[in-house]
Amino acid sequence: MKNANNRSTSIFNIAVIVASLGYFVDIYDLLLFTIVRVPSLKSLGVPQAEIDAGIGLLLINVQMAGLLIGGIFWGIVGDKKGRLSVLFGSILIYSVANIANGFVHSTNMYLVWRFIAGLGLAGELGAGITLVSEILPKEKRGYGTMIVATIGVFGAVVANFVAKIVQDWRICYFIGGALGLALLVLRISVLESHLFNAIKASNASRGNFLQLFTDKHRFLKYLKCLLLGTPTWFVVGILMAFSNKFAIEMHVRDAISPGDAIAFCYTGLTLGDFATGLISQLWKSRRKVMLLFLLLTAAFVTLYFQLHGAGKWSFYAVCFGLGFSVGFWTIFVTIAAESFGTNLRATVATTVPNFARGLLPLISMLFVALQGSFTYLQSGAIVAAISIGIALVTSYYLEETFGKELNYVEEI
């Protein structure tokens, strides 16, 4: 079915498919790097001490720098040149970087290509969500973004599976690069957003990132969108990444693998993304769903810290539940896209998820600092209360964006 603007109104149109698969490869690469970082550095001759603290940590920080810089760059490009320009450019860059990662033979080149990969990966989700939000009717766009996030996050599960089956980090990178390049063929069939085409013909200022900070109301709205993602990265970056250490502190009976904990978490996250998107459509509300799942996150985090003496399958079951509870990435990015006018929409939708990822180092620093006065478990619980509490307060004062008309601009 097509509307008066000759645009497909089906939630399974080519733009939704390309955005979904693009995010799938995006998440595949991000988690693959987490999985193969240690074995890849070992194969390059890096000693264990350097992997844990030196070059290993620098590699993570360099990728994060690429994500943050890329988030701003692609956001501006998306509003100035178009959503499709970002989809094409970001997919091409991270695909080439992935393949190049498989050929590196020195840590210096590994650092260079992970930075470039971060730059490329930064643009995919925001541009995809923006495009899907603008081409679908307001009654259906929640279903479209639900599909994008659900299929995308499943890339983490596939990355873990591929890493276990292939067991060669170079080939794993080649697979990711090949998937990305294959997407470029599909991308040729995608049409640009009609809303962007309309504003492109006007004299409206587009993609002015600094304008997000020059108006108090606009800045607070942007900050609210950003803070909603804090609990997700606390759960993934602290509770899952250091799940083996938390398990030891709670005397869990079996050894816990962070890789397996992340896999269970992301499986739950995939289902959570589907559930939040579907429920928001049925309830006709983004805000209510955010509040519900943040309360669910609080419940599962509480349960996580009560796993003293539990077996590994009970532990992994809670990891799955935690993933499901923070599976509001669909709603999170959709709210960001729906909260701003067409001339700043791509900038916001692209920077917000990347800046939310960028909060993880701050969360980690707080977690480490608290351990000077509290136990490991107490420090984790305090950070949990802060991150979830901030997101809950933010959600309570959030503007409802469900069904909002997106054909407007921010007055600058």
Distance from C-alpha of 76 to C-alpha of 102, rounded to nearest angstrom: 30
Amino acid letter for position 119:
L
DSSP-H helix ranges across 188-285:
194-200, 216-227, 230-234, 243-249, 258-283
For residue 165, give the 3-state DSSP assignment: helix
* Alpha helices (H) in 47-140, listed in sequence order: 48-52, 55-80, 83-101, 107-135
Q: 8 pairs with which residues across the strands?
A: 2
Burial 346-363, CB ≥16 within 10 A → b, else e: bbbbbbbbbbbbbbbeeb
Which part of the chain has CATH 1.20.1250.20? 7-191, 207-412
* pTM: predicted TM-score of the whole model, two decimal places: 0.88
186: its two tokens: 């599909």
Per-residue pLDDT tens digits for 355-379? 988 888 889 889 989 999 999 999 9
pLDDT of 53: 65
For residue 342, what pLDDT is reported? 92
Domain 207-412: give its CATH architecture: Up-down Bundle (1.20)
**83-101 and 14-43 helices cross at what angle (nearest 10)?**
30
In the block, residue with structure tokens 């504003």: 199
Q: Which residues of the chain have pLDDT under 50?
A: 1-6
SS3 label, residue 370: helix
Read off the pLDDT of residues 210-248 as tens digits, 9 standing for 90 and up: 999 999 999 999 999 999 999 998 998 899 988 989 999
Structure confidence at residue 150 (pLDDT)? 81
CATH number of 7-191: 1.20.1250.20
- The pLDDT assigned to 3 comes to 47
pLDDT for res 50: 79
